[in-house]
Chain A
């Protein structure tokens, strides 16, 4: 199980494309994916949950991944959350 606090550099709550990308990638893996913010855990494979979570730029969220392919999964999802390269 990998759990890490990540600073979001990608306005995932603000745009479809980012939420779709995160969810789509999450669904490609076997592992369980959860996001924790403001006192609640939401399933990372659920587009509606990710979209409504609201992850504005510079917010902090805990990403937790557990399963057989957790290493690859975590890496991929973390990258999406941190995609802004400036």
Chain B
């Protein structure tokens, strides 16, 4: 059997190897049965019983998903519960049972069919996606009427890779990770419910693979590479060997990390570096804690907006912030106010140069209601655990942060007047992601309580290159001496003014970057949760005082490649244990 490589969208990292298990959702066959007059009430009663028992199943599932993955993801299940109780559907079903004297399964099938058809041809992917929720519900109800429960995913006894055209939220929720080692789905994109849930459950997954099912044969071996977004059918021995080695590496690393979870990120000469996590979904908080994060260094709030395609209400935001605050306490959570481009706020709005355009705090200060609502929600949420902080994005001038402060104070006044509690000592800080901000860090340090260096954007703005432009992506260099001077400027200003400074860009999780930043005097590093253990290991091998010589030398170099070469040399000489991480 020839090896075949299929490409898709990587939606959840990791590698899985197993036998192909093709998951085809099928509604149980419905035979139309005539029900005699005398048994009609009994049939209606059976129907109500089935509904009741499925409602019970879904409630349990709702609790489980809510607990493990957050309330936002659990909404998909809530939708099914409301659908189950939908009076229009129920009345339709009972009508068919009574008037046409047919059985409940047939009646339910008839009613649902009529709703699904128009949705099938909806141009909106989101609507088409909801069909799977309806089908999942219908399947459960029909099975219940037949005296069965849905069990296809529970009767596995060997390691499999799940292949499907699509998966319902309940399907992903029910995956038994002992047997299901990976997921490959034909449909879907980077932000649908399958992507969100497999990522939250850390199940390697790839979707967006056209014609997957027509190429797959059940029982044959497949590899899901959620890192590269690739499915390999009938992998040859060499391939299997490579992947198994990769998986073994990962396994060993994880095992040592969980043993080391309780170790502190402290240099050999006693300098403590805060390690925090960057997150977007409530569900990621658990993962952050599991990997040893002692705080959320960046809570991106854009997802709350993008998942609704409208402004979230104050209540909706309040709920989010309270959840993250409670789940992370006593550790701090830094909430970054909406950092969106104008095109997300005003439909149809477009710019020729969005990167240099209307986004971040610029939008916030012009659409003040927007910003005020968010700040009010954050303040209200801060009352309970007093572990929230506010961070403003895309700052370029002192007037901007002063305007933010005015707004913050006026909302505090408003809440005080209404006797609504909030944390009076709540801190605010800024993302240092523009050259203007870094160069003027001294002035900003007198107003803010903290800085967080957004290295990704800072590098792009400083070196005038876009990472996603293949012609110039090679110019993006986090170790370019010009950018290093900006990190230094920012960090020194923070030190001088007694405020703390962290980094939330990718550099914070890159081995050489960590060494550079720790050497420059950073207080905190915030990154994607699964990189925290490596960062900790690196920090624990460093000596801050020794690093000062390294930094001094680096500041005399003229090129990014020179800096990198020097750092690698330093690692080999002074921190040999770390060499392994650099491969």
- B356 partner residues in chain A, CB cutoff 8 A: none
Q: Is the CB of B75 within 8 A of A23?
A: no
Which of chain A's residues has its CB closest to B309's CB? Answer: A11
Given A20-B78, A52-B115, A84-B310, are A14 and B88 also a contact pair (CB < 8 Å)?
Answer: no
Of B79-87, B484-492, B518-526, which binds chain A? B79-87
Known: A43-B88, A48-B88. A14 touches B126 (CB 8 A): yes
- Binary B-proximity of A1-42 (CB < 8 A = 1, otherwise 0): 000000001110111111110011000000000000000000
The reply to whether A46 and B87 form a contact with Cβ atoms under 8 Å apart is yes
Contact B79 A18, beta carbon cutoff 8 Å: no
Q: How far is the CA of A7 from the CA of B581 in the complex (A)?
A: 58
Asked if B83 and A17 make an inter-chain contact with CB atoms under 8 angstroms apart, the answer reads no
Report yes or no: B369 in contact with A46, Cβ–Cβ below 8 A. no
Decide: A86 and B115 in contact? CB cutoff 8 A. no
- B82, A23: Cβ atoms closer than 8 Å: yes
Residues of chain B at interface, number, CB under 8 A: 32
How far is the CB of B190 from the nearest CB of chain A, in Å? 17
Q: Is A76 an interface residue (CB 8 A)?
A: no
**Are the C-beta atoms of A15 and B370 separated by less than 8 Å?**
no
Contacting A51 at CB < 8 Å: which of B130, B309, B369, B370?
B130
Quick check: is B76 within 8 A (CB to CB) of the other chain? yes
Contacts of A54 in B (CB 8 A): 127
Q: In this complex, what residue of B is CB-closest to A79?
A: B313
- Which residues on the B side are within 8 Å of A46 (C-beta)? 86-89
Inter-subunit contact B88/A24 (CB<8 Å): no
Which parts of B99-139 form the interface with A (CB within 8 Å)? 115, 118-119, 124, 126-127, 130, 134
| A16: contacting residue among B76, B119, B316, CB under 8 A | B76
| Residues of chain A contacted by B86 (CB below 8 angstroms) | 46-49
Which residue, A17, A20, A48, A57, has most C-beta atoms of chain B within 10 A? A48
Q: Which of A9, A11, A51, A84 has the most CB of B within 10 A?
A: A51
Give the residues from 254 to 311 in chain B that come closer than 8 angstroms, CB to CB, to chain A. 307-311
Q: A16-B130, A51-B130 are in contact. Are A83 and B310 (CB under 8 A)?
A: yes
Known: A43-B88, A86-B367. A48 touches B309 (CB 8 A): no
The answer to whether B87 touches A83 (Cβ under 8 A) is no
Question: Is the Cβ of B367 less than 8 Å from the Cβ of A20?
Answer: no
Interface size on A, residues (CB 8 A): 27
B310:A20 contact, CB within 8 angstroms: no
Give the one of A24, A46, A84 with max B CB within 10 A: A46
* A interface footprint on B54-91 (CB within 8 Å = 1, 0 otherwise): 00000000000000000000011011001100111100
Q: How many A-B residue pairs have CB under 8 A?
A: 75
| Contact between chains at A18 and B310 (CB < 8 Å) | yes
Chain B contacts for A84, CB-based, 8 A: 310-311
| CB closest chain-B residue, reference A86 | B367
A47 to B311, CA, bound (A): 21
CB A14 to nearest CB in B, in angstroms, measures 6
Which of A11, A24, A47: most chain B CB closer than 10 A? A47
Query: Quick check: is B347 within 8 A (CB to CB) of the other chain?
Result: yes
A61 to chain B, nearest CB (A): 16
Instruction: Determine whether B456 belongs to the interface, using a CB cutoff of 8 Å to chain A.
Output: no
**A16 and B79 contacting across the interface, CB-CB below 8 Å:** yes
Known contacts A16-B130, A51-B130: does B89 contact A43 (CB below 8 Å)? no
B370 touches A86 (CB 8 A): yes
The verdict on B373 contacting chain A, using a C-beta distance below 8 Å, is: yes
Other-chain residue from A16, A57, A85 in contact with B373 (beta carbon distance below 8 A): A85
In the bound complex, do residue A52 and residue B75 qualify as a contact, i.e. CB atoms below 8 Å apart? no
| B345 interfacial contact with A, CB 8 Å | yes
Report the minimum CB–CB distance from A75 to chain B (whole Å).
Answer: 15
**Chain B: CB-nearest residue to A51:** B130
Q: Are A47 and B126 in contact (CB under 8 A)?
A: no
A38 to chain B, nearest CB (A): 12
Docked Cα-Cα span, A20 to B62, in Å, equals 15
- The docked-state distance in angstroms from the alpha carbon of A52 to that of B121 is 12
8 A Cβ contacts from B481-511 to A: none
Q: A52 vs B345: C-alpha distance in the bound complex, in angstroms?
A: 25
B75→A16 contact, CB < 8 A: yes
Give CA–CA (A16, B345) in the complex, Å.
Answer: 20
| In the complex with contacts A16-B130, A86-B311, A47-B75 CB distance below 8 A | no
Point out the residues of chain A lying under 8 angstroms from B82, CB to CB: 20, 23-24, 47
What's the Cα separation between A52 and B126 when bound, in Å?
12
Give chain A residues whose Cβ lies under 8 Å from the Cβ of B119: 52
Residues of B with C-beta under 8 A to A86: 311, 345-346, 367, 369-370
Query: What distance in Å separates the Cβ of B77 from its nearest Cβ neighbour in chain A?
Result: 11
Report the separation of the CA atoms of residues A1 and B86 in the bound assembly, to the nearest whole angstrom.
23
Q: What are 30 A-B pairs at a CB distance below 8 A?
A: A11-B310, A13-B127, A14-B126, A14-B309, A15-B308, A15-B309, A16-B75, A16-B76, A16-B79, A16-B130, A20-B78, A23-B82, A45-B88, A46-B86, A47-B79, A47-B82, A47-B86, A48-B83, A48-B88, A48-B134, A49-B86, A52-B119, A83-B310, A83-B311, A83-B313, A84-B310, A85-B311, A85-B369, A86-B346, A86-B367
Nearest 7 Cβ contacts at the A-B interface: A46-B88, A47-B82, A46-B86, A84-B310, A11-B309, A16-B79, A43-B88
